[in-house]
Amino acid sequence: MKVTLDVNGTEHAVEVSPWKRLLDVLREDLRLTGTKEGCGEGECGACTVMLDGEAVNSCLVAIGQCDRRAVTTVEGLAKGDVLHAVQRALVACGGAQCGICTPGIAVCAAHVVDRGLVVGRDDASARAQVRELLAGNICRCTGYQLIVDAIVTAAREVGR
């Protein structure tokens, strides 16, 4: 099947099985290896990308569902040399963790921040909200505190 898709603003055409996972097309066919595989079964969020602006687990999406659709991967969050507010905040707050979980967290957080979904008025409610919104992104080895700090920081910056 020939599939045409826009990835990070560039159009690509791939000839693949319609059942091939979006995750594998991104990594193998398009060489966009920023998107990572963790569990491979929709549980960890490592493979998160945006599909037509919605955060999805790319390990659960068949490429046959993606024809003429737009995908944003972690490689597409920065605009040229300018990092997304979430990426800047992850660096500033020390929330950039390992290379497996961080890309998916960055994409999901960018989705949440760009949509203005963090509306908690005080610190505690904003933090609780971020934890809930990012509940699908799992780190298997350390904590979430600095990630939450970063996303609250980015949400405030973008919402200003």
Amino acid making up residue 60? L
Give me the 36-55 binding string for ligand FES, x by CB under 6 A, dash otherwise: -xxxx-xxxxxx--------
Amino acid making up residue 80? G
Give me the 54-93 binding string for ligand FES, x by CB under 6 A, dash otherwise: ---x-x----------------------------------
In the bound state with ligand FES, the residue whose beta carbon lies nearer, of 47 and 109, is 47
Question: Which tokens go with 50?
Answer: 């945006």
As to burial, measured by CB atoms within 10 angstroms (0-12 exposed, 13-18 middle, 19+ buried), residue 132 is exposed
In the bound state with ligand FES, the residue whose beta carbon lies nearer, of 70 and 97, is 97
In the bound state with ligand FES, the residue whose beta carbon lies nearer, of 1 and 98, is 98
At a CB cut-off of 8 Å and minimum separation 6, what does 80 contact? none
In the bound state with ligand FES, the residue whose beta carbon lies nearer, of 146 and 158, is 146
Question: Which tokens go with 53?
Answer: 């602006």
Q: Please check whether residue 76 is in contact with residue 139, taking contact to mean a CB–CB distance below 8 angstroms.
A: no
Q: Whole-angstrom distance between the N-terminal and C-terminal Cα of the chain? A: 45
Least Å from the CB of residue 145 to ligand FES: 12
* Binding interface with ligand FES (CB under 6 A): 37-40, 42-47, 57, 59, 97-98, 100-101, 139-142
